Amino acid sequence: MRMIALFSSSTASACVAQSPGDPGAALLFANGHDGLSSREQVTIFQSLGLVVDSTGKGFLDTMCGQPAGATVAFSDWNHDGKTEVLILFGNSCTSGMAGSSAVLLIRSPKGGYSTNLGFPAGAVDTLPTRNLGYPDLLIGGPGFCFPVWRWNGREYDYLRQEPQSPDGCDHMNE
């Protein structure tokens, strides 16, 4: 399930039409960019389907024109010295009952980013279990049964459902 395509090292420069001083990218990465180039920041922001609102302090989605949130977190999940970028963004228009969507960007050995997740998610939590160096991810959302995704060596894939309350995943067996 991949809804958002960002860029690889070979396409990064071609995807950016605006100047590196893009106000949306500046707002999205106002709390830090952890080494992302201006071009990477602009490309990432443009891929999210958001625009800066009239106050210059928030975002609107481009589908419904409604206020949308966006948060960015940086972490080296696989301890390779390269930071992964997790973005939660959107609203109920873009992301349904989850209220936001998640995009995980993992730097490739060639320097570009591969896009993972790219679907509605209320939260993305790392689990203590790991595969090939990356943690398993619990994808939060509405309901009582959350999916767990696992790294397969190239990307994150669906692994299983995990109940969040007793009998939380019973409907999965019907």
Residue 74, pLDDT above cutoff 60: yes
Supply 145's token pair: 């049964």
Domain positions in the chain:
12-173
In this prediction the pTM is: 0.84
Residue 28: enclosing H or E segment and its boundaries? Answer: helix 23-28
Tell me the per-residue pLDDT of 89-109, one tens digit each, with 9 for 90 and over. Answer: 999 999 999 999 999 999 888
- Order the strands of the 59-61 sheet from edge to edge: 50-52, 59-61, 67-75, 84-90, 101-107, 113-120
Tell me the per-residue pLDDT of 105-139, one tens digit each, with 9 for 90 and over. Answer: 998 888 888 999 999 999 999 999 999 999 999 99
| Contacts (Cβ under 8 Å, ≥6 apart) of 113 | 6, 7, 8, 40, 85, 105, 106, 107
Tell me the per-residue pLDDT of 4-23, one tens digit each, with 9 for 90 and over. Answer: 344 333 333 333 333 447 99
Tell me the per-residue pLDDT of 17-48, one tens digit each, with 9 for 90 and over. Answer: 334 479 999 999 999 999 999 999 999 999 99
| Rounded CA separation 126/84 (Å) | 13
